């Protein structure tokens, strides 16, 4: 029971959305750095 | 049952669907970005005096024209899906911005600056919670406002809302109040900065604390001077790093009367879950640059990519800013938020002008 309430308070669905967005940003950002490395 | 499942599967759009749907809106964003750069060059060449006095560069042009389009002729519904990527664009710009720094340049900003940022973040939260007794609002709304007006307009509100059990409309209200404040500051602070003769570093540090929405912080910084934009970026990052700790502090304040709830929070897990991991990619770019991974030409191209990511992000912000949303946000939260944010801005100005060695 206490485990459930811990989970509920620490991470909501919006957090997962932000986390997914951050992973996308990391991927795009690193890709763009390599684009700069290759094209320059 | 199987029909429901089929219907559910049919409704769920794939990544390709999302990309195709986003294309018309993204085309508008790119067109506005191209226009903003062209207008920047045109004003610089043909209206040099106005350009130097008003500092109306591509950043302010993209946001202003975007807002004008949204609030006059409007944006066709088919373009809406492509306008919601301002956060992704600005965060991507921040990652690439890592190539502008070395570990030594970050260290130069120093411990004093991090203490300055932390004091202002926690101070803003404490001040807002102390002043809220004079305003009509729930603890949950106060929590969202405290998060938004201290750390980062949208991300912090989104991180705090579910944790303090705020309703969707309380989060939306908080975000609207913060964006209105940021918008006003975005146009006002560069004028004040020039009037006070601030250096780019001082101005960057100031807006990095006084304005809370990351895109608006960067927009105000770059509207003032390129170096101010870079300094604002560092201060913005310092603020964002502290996000999980400030959010935890707010949660404890909101739930302080509910001892069962506060005891049940796993604090380490909470901080890990709320940590903005895109910062890791920014730091990776800084480390690569420190190691000499990029040549001068590559850094120049990375700089152009960063400017474009920011410009398109700013254009998206302009195109999604509705004046009617501002009207609908109501009074109390905005008044309280503005009072707290203005006190913070004035105190931060005093600190960067006279105390912080920048």
Write out chain B's pLDDT in tens, 358 residues.
Answer: 455 555 555 567 787 888 899 999 999 999 999 999 999 899 888 887 777 666 677 877 888 899 899 999 999 999 999 998 887 888 898 889 889 888 887 787 777 888 888 999 999 999 999 998 888 788 888 888 998 898 877 778 877 877 777 776 777 778 778 877 888 888 899 999 999 999 999 999 999 999 888 888 888 999 899 899 989 988 888 888 888 888 888 888 887 766 666 666 677 777 777 777 888 898 899 999 999 999 999 999 999 998 899 889 888 888 987 877 666 656 788 888 889 999 999 999 999 988 876 6
Give me the residue from A2, A14, A32 closest to B264, CB to CB. A2
| Crossing angle of the two packed helices B296-320 and B86-97, in degrees rounded to 10 | 160
Rounded to a whole number, what is the distance in angstroms from the first to the last CA of chain A?
57
> Do the beta carbons of residue B248 and residue B271 sit within 8 Å?
yes
Q: What is the pLDDT of residues B209-257, one digit of tens each?
A: 998 888 888 889 998 998 999 899 888 888 888 888 888 888 888 877 6
Q: What is the pLDDT of residues B162-216, one digit of tens each?
A: 777 777 677 777 877 887 788 888 889 999 999 999 999 999 999 999 988 888 8
Residue A34 with chain B: CB contacts under 8 Å: none
Q: Please count the other Cβ atoms lying within 10 Å of the Cβ belonging to residue B327.
A: 10
Mean pLDDT value of segment A3-16: 53
Residue A9 with chain B: CB contacts under 8 Å: 163, 251, 261, 264-265, 270
| Crossing angle of the two packed helices B226-241 and B278-290, in degrees rounded to 10 | 130
CB–CB contact A26 B269 (8 Å): no
- Minimum Cα–Cα distance from A3: chain B residue: B264
Give me the residue from A5, A25, A32 closest to B278, CB to CB. A25
> Distance between CA atoms of B330 and B350, rounded to whole angstroms?
31
Give me the residue from B91, B96, B273 closest to A33, CB to CB. B96
> Do the beta carbons of residue B316 and residue B93 sit within 8 Å?
no
> Best of B147, B248, B268, B305 to disrupt the A interface by mutation (most A CBs within 10 Å)?
B305
B162 touches chain A (CB under 8 A): yes
Going from N- to C-terminal start, the domains of chain B cover 88-355
Q: Where are the beta strands (DSSP E) in chain B?
A: none
Output the pLDDT for position A5.
Answer: 43
> Do the beta carbons of residue B106 and residue B234 sit within 8 Å?
yes
B261 touches chain A (CB under 8 A): yes
Please report which residue ranges of B211-295 form alpha helices under DSSP H.
214-224, 226-241, 243-254, 259-263, 267-274, 278-290
């Amino acid at each position: 029971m206490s485990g459930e309430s811990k989970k509920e308070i620490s991470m909501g669905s919006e957090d997962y959305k932000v986390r997914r967005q951050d992973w996308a940003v990391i991927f795009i950002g690193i890709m763009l750095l390599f684009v700069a490395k290759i094209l320059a | 049952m199987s029909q429901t499942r089929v219907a559910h599967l049919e409704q769920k759009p794939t990544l390709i669907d999302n990309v195709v749907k986003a294309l018309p809106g993204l085309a508008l964003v790119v067109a506005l970005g191209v226009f903003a750069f062209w207008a920047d060059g045109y004003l610089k060449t043909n209206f040099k005096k106005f350009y130097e006095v008003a500092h109306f560069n591509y950043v302010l042009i993209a946001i202003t024209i975007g807002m004008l389009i949204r609030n006059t002729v409007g944006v066709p519904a088919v373009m809406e899906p492509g306008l919601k990527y301002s956060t992704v664009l600005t965060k991507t710009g921040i990652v690439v911005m890592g190539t502008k720094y070395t570990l030594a340049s970050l260290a130069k900003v120093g411990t004093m600056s991090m203490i300055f940022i932390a004091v202002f973040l926690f101070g803003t939260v404490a001040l807002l919670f102390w002043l809220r007794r004079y305003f009509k609002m729930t603890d949950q709304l106060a929590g969202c406002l405290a998060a938004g007006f201290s750390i980062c307009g949208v991300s912090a509100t989104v991180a705090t809302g579910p944790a303090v059990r705020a309703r969707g409309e309380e989060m939306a209200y908080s975000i609207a109040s913060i964006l209105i404040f940021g918008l006003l500051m975005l146009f006002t602070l560069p004028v004040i900065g020039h009037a006070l003769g601030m250096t780019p570093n001082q101005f960057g540090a100031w807006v990095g604390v006084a304005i809370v929405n990351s895109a608006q912080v960067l927009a105000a910084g770059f509207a003032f001077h390129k170096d101010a934009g870079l300094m604002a970026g560092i201060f913005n990052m310092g603020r964002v790093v502290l996000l999980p700790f400030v959010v935890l502090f707010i949660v404890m304040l909101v739930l302080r009367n509910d001892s069962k709830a506060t005891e049940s929070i796993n604090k380490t897990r909470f901080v890990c879950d709320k940590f903005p991991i895109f910062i890791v990619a920014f730091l990776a770019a800084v480390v690569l640059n420190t190691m000499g991974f990029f040549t001068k030409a590559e850094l120049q191209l990375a700089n152009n990519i960063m400017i474009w990511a920011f410009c398109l992000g700013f254009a998206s912000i302009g195109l999604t800013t509705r004046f009617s949303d501002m009207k609908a946000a109501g009074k109390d939260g905005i008044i309280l938020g503005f009072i707290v944010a203005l006190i913070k801005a004035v105190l931060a100005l005093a600190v960067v002008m006279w105390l912080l060695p920048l």
